Amino acid sequence: MALKIPAALLDQLRQHSERTYPYECCGVLVGDFDNSGGKMVMAVFPCGNTRTDSPRNRFRIDPMELVRVQREAMLAGCDIVGFYHSHPDRPAHWSAIDLAEAHWPLCSYVITGVEKGRAMFTNSFQLQDRDEAKHFAEEAIEVNHLHTRSKDRTIQRGTMMPNEISISPSLYPCAGISSPKTANSAHSSAYASITKTIAT
């Protein structure tokens, strides 16, 4: 179980966390699920944090923005495979609030800890099960360094990486990185929940 992401896209979400400091950033990861339960990120969609009461330690993605991302992902033959946000001056580890507001089983929840404006550790956690049984499991991040590209997909927003790439992966443990289509039905049923809870 691993989240595979091109280095350029990982850099993008980490830079997003620095730009929004001291507030939390947030965004959506689009790509493909594989048969082993892993995911390949093909695009990063930075979103605005619409939280106004406590943006330093909470985030909210506009439900309509999430709808647009999901539509564009489907048109490109991709899925929403995860979400990311930052923890300003806090560890890159999920909180009780993060778990309570997570509603997409099998998706990755990527967290970057930012200290004094600088992105430090980035960790990923996969959401498993539902309702009272749901929990996060630590997930390795594989950073892919692109060698070749072909058959580019087109997504209108976000930063998109190629559909088929030759990679030389480097495996980073979930302890941190420093300086399946079969899940569609689960995600669809969870969508009604996330549009409610993510806006509260």
Distance of alpha carbon 105 from alpha carbon 134, whole angstroms: 8
Amino acid making up residue 88: P
Distance of alpha carbon 124 from alpha carbon 106, whole angstroms: 12
- 3-class SS of residue 142: strand
Catalytic residue among 18, 24, 65, 132: 24
Amino acid making up residue 126: Q
Sequence-distant (≥ 6) Cβ neighbours of residue 14 within 8 angstroms: 112, 119, 122
Q: Specify whether the CB–CB gap between 49 and 25 falls below 8 A.
A: yes
Note if 164 is an active site residue: no
Nearest one of 162, 51, 160, 176 to 110, comparing CA atoms: 176
Active site residues: 24
